[in-house]
Amino acid sequence: MREDASRESLEAVARPGVTVREIDCLRLVAEGRTSAEIALAYAISENTVNHHLAAVCRKLDALNRTHAVTIALRLGLIE
Protein backbone atom coordinates (compact mmCIF):
# COMPACT_ATOMS: atom_id res chain seq x y z
CA MET A 1 0.00 0.00 0.00
CA ARG A 2 2.73 2.48 0.87
CA GLU A 3 4.29 2.12 -2.61
CA ASP A 4 0.89 2.83 -4.21
CA ALA A 5 0.52 6.00 -2.13
CA SER A 6 3.97 7.24 -3.11
CA ARG A 7 3.27 6.43 -6.77
CA GLU A 8 0.07 8.48 -6.59
CA SER A 9 1.87 11.41 -5.00
CA LEU A 10 4.52 11.23 -7.72
CA GLU A 11 1.82 11.36 -10.34
CA ALA A 12 0.28 14.40 -8.65
CA VAL A 13 3.54 16.38 -8.79
CA ALA A 14 4.51 15.17 -12.24
CA ARG A 15 4.23 17.49 -15.17
CA PRO A 16 0.90 17.09 -16.94
CA GLY A 17 0.84 13.91 -18.95
CA VAL A 18 3.92 12.24 -17.42
CA THR A 19 2.79 8.79 -16.31
CA VAL A 20 3.87 6.85 -13.26
CA ARG A 21 5.35 4.16 -15.53
CA GLU A 22 7.44 6.77 -17.35
CA ILE A 23 8.73 8.03 -14.00
CA ASP A 24 9.43 4.43 -12.93
CA CYS A 25 11.49 3.86 -16.09
CA LEU A 26 13.39 7.13 -15.57
CA ARG A 27 14.18 6.15 -11.99
CA LEU A 28 15.79 2.92 -13.20
CA VAL A 29 17.69 4.76 -15.95
CA ALA A 30 19.04 7.04 -13.22
CA GLU A 31 20.29 3.89 -11.45
CA GLY A 32 22.20 2.92 -14.59
CA ARG A 33 19.88 0.20 -15.83
CA THR A 34 19.55 -0.64 -19.51
CA SER A 35 16.25 -0.88 -21.36
CA ALA A 36 16.55 -4.67 -21.26
CA GLU A 37 17.03 -4.63 -17.49
CA ILE A 38 14.08 -2.28 -17.01
CA ALA A 39 11.94 -4.54 -19.20
CA LEU A 40 12.79 -7.52 -17.01
CA ALA A 41 12.06 -5.56 -13.83
CA TYR A 42 8.57 -4.59 -14.99
CA ALA A 43 7.78 -7.70 -17.07
CA ILE A 44 7.27 -5.63 -20.22
CA SER A 45 9.04 -5.65 -23.57
CA GLU A 46 12.18 -3.66 -24.26
CA ASN A 47 10.24 -1.84 -27.01
CA THR A 48 7.66 -0.76 -24.44
CA VAL A 49 10.39 0.57 -22.17
CA ASN A 50 11.89 2.52 -25.05
CA HIS A 51 8.42 3.85 -25.89
CA HIS A 52 7.95 5.07 -22.28
CA LEU A 53 11.37 6.72 -22.30
CA ALA A 54 10.80 8.39 -25.68
CA ALA A 55 7.43 9.67 -24.48
CA VAL A 56 8.84 11.16 -21.28
CA CYS A 57 11.68 12.75 -23.25
CA ARG A 58 9.10 14.49 -25.45
CA LYS A 59 7.03 15.59 -22.46
CA LEU A 60 10.06 17.01 -20.64
CA ASP A 61 11.57 18.49 -23.81
CA ALA A 62 14.68 16.39 -23.20
CA LEU A 63 17.25 15.61 -25.87
CA ASN A 64 17.86 12.06 -24.61
CA ARG A 65 17.25 9.79 -21.64
CA THR A 66 20.17 11.23 -19.66
CA HIS A 67 18.82 14.73 -20.17
CA ALA A 68 15.35 13.50 -19.11
CA VAL A 69 16.81 12.11 -15.88
CA THR A 70 18.50 15.46 -15.19
CA ILE A 71 15.27 17.37 -15.77
CA ALA A 72 13.28 14.90 -13.66
CA LEU A 73 15.76 15.29 -10.81
CA ARG A 74 15.51 19.07 -10.97
CA LEU A 75 11.71 18.91 -10.98
CA GLY A 76 11.67 16.50 -8.08
CA LEU A 77 9.99 13.76 -10.11
CA ILE A 78 12.73 11.32 -9.09
CA GLU A 79 15.30 11.28 -6.31
* For the chain, domain boundaries: 2-75
What's the pTM?
Answer: 0.79
pLDDT tens digits, one per residue of 23-62: 999 999 999 999 999 999 999 999 999 999 999 999 999 9
Distance CA 12, CA 16 (A): 9
Tell which CATH architecture fits domain 2-75: Orthogonal Bundle (1.10)
Q: What is the pLDDT of residue 1?
A: 41
